[in-house]
Amino acid sequence: MDHNEWESLCDGCGRCCLHKLEDVDNGDIYYTRGACELLDIDACRCLDYDNRQKQVPNCVQLSVKEAQYFDWLPSTCAYRLLAEGEDLPLWHPLITGNSESVVKAGVSVKDIAKPLSDITDLSDEIILLRDALKVAVDEA
């Protein structure tokens, strides 16, 4: 898989760009509504993807070699699914040909994420990410 093919696996959901909290006792990860400061919430896109690690040092660069560590990614993420031997979901833009299918499948964070500036305490913003639809979505 070349670089462009690898990048195209990202469905643009923005879920990995939400701040997470870790339970220090058991390592469990909790997603919150708090969006990374570089996330354009409406577009679910990184505002400076090429330079993101300079601006946000803990932004993880996903690579094939690290696939065994992808269990912190949301269960809908294509990188995690492929690492676990699963197929791409039917709503994935590579299958539908339309990025809006991610929104229709209920996977995008555009309607649930909040800028950090609107949040006082991240622990009040913990969310359970919805599972995605298991079926194809109509053309968006």
- Interface residues with ligand SF4 (CB under 6 A)? 10-17, 36, 38-39, 46, 52, 56, 59, 73-74, 77-79
Pick between residue 37 and residue 124 the one whose CB is nearest to ligand SF4. 37
In this structure, are residues 111 and 9 in contact, taking their beta carbons and an 8 Å threshold?
A: no
Sole residue written with tokens 């555009």: 110
Residue 45: its H or E element: strand 45-46
Cross-strand pairs, 115:
35
Q: Nearest distance from residue 25's CB to ligand SF4, in Å?
A: 25
Pick between residue 12 and residue 106 the one whose CB is nearest to ligand SF4. 12
Distance of CA 85 to the CA centre of its chain: 19
Pick between residue 49 and residue 126 the one whose CB is nearest to ligand SF4. 49
